[in-house]
């Protein structure tokens, strides 16, 4: 049996709710990376975690990070796995931008762009280009990864987002 060559992804991780067993949001992100590995995902690089203010109604600060991963899974299959991991961590679907134990998003994919209507999935993530809380961690591990739609690197996008 021939193994498929791996796809590389830049994923964003976020948490702003303590987990009853795992602890603080930073500890949740550490545990999420271990969960990815236990589900067969190769974690190639991990960005330092930063704390950020929330967008929307939540009042709790976020722990945000990023990771480069490798897997033979295509984006839709990876999204399904990420949603299962979020559910295992107690993530409940509900209000947009509310407090959450774990949020895992596909930001970039080595295959370029991807679109699926159901469940909705757009890669590159449609909002990441302006989100400092995604770009700052991402720029530490993937500064030269280029957005397939704009041609700009993650470092260039991060610089633009910081200028505001």
Cβ-based neighbour number of residue 19 at 10 Å? 17
List the beta strands (DSSP E) in 21-162.
42-46, 50-52, 62-71, 103-109, 114-116, 121-123
The DSSP string of 21-49 is TTBSHHHHHHHHHHHHHHTT-EEEEEPPP
> 89 in helix, strand or coil?
coil
Phi and psi, residue 42, nearest 5° = -85, 120
Q: Give Cβ neighbours of residue 87 (< 8 Å, ≥ 6 apart).
A: none
Total domains in the fold of the chain? 1
Query: Does the residue 142 lie in any domain?
Result: no
Query: Does the residue 32 lie in any domain?
Result: yes
What's the rounded mean pLDDT across residues 122-136?
94
Is the four-CA dihedral 108, 111, 112, 116 of positive or negative sign?
negative
Distance CA 126, CA 145 (A): 16
pTM above 0.85, yes or no: yes
Query: Does the residue 152 lie in any domain?
Result: no
Query: Does the residue 132 lie in any domain?
Result: no
Query: Does the residue 17 lie in any domain?
Result: yes
Query: Does the residue 16 lie in any domain?
Result: yes
Of 18, 21, 16, 29, residue with least CA distance to 104: 29
Q: According to the model, what pLDDT value does residue 68 have?
A: 98
Q: Which domain holds residue 114?
A: 7-126
Q: Ramachandran region of residue 151, left (φ > 0), alpha (ψ -120 to 50) or beta? A: left
Q: According to the model, what pLDDT value does residue 1 have?
A: 40
Q: For position 50, which CATH number holds?
A: 3.30.70.560
Q: According to the model, what pLDDT value does residue 2 have?
A: 43
pLDDT tens digit sequence for 6-51 = 999 999 999 988 778 887 999 999 999 999 999 999 999 999 999 9
> Which region among 23-37, 62-76, 80-94, 145-159 has the lowest average model confidence (pLDDT)?
80-94
Between these two residues, 161 and 93, which has the higher pLDDT value? Answer: 161
């Amino acid at each position: 049996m021939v193994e498929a060559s791996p796809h590389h992804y830049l994923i964003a991780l976020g948490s702003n709710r303590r987990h009853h067993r795992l602890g603080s949001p930073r500890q949740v992100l550490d545990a999420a990376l271990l969960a990815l590995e236990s589900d067969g995902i190769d974690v190639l690089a991990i960005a330092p975690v930063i704390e950020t203010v929330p967008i929307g109604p939540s009042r709790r600060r976020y722990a945000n990070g990023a990771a480069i991963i490798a897997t033979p899974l295509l984006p839709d299959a990876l999204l399904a796995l990420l949603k299962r991991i979020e559910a295992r961590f107690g993530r409940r679907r509900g209000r947009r931008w509310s407090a959450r134990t774990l949020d895992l998003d596909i930001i970039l994919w080595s295959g370029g762009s991807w679109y699926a209507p159901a469940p909705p999935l757009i890669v590159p993530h449609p909002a990441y280009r302006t989100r400092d809380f995604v770009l700052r961690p991402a720029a530490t591990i993937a500064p030269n990864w280029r957005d397939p739609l704009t041609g700009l690197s993650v470092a260039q996008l991060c610089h633009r987002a910081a200028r505001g």
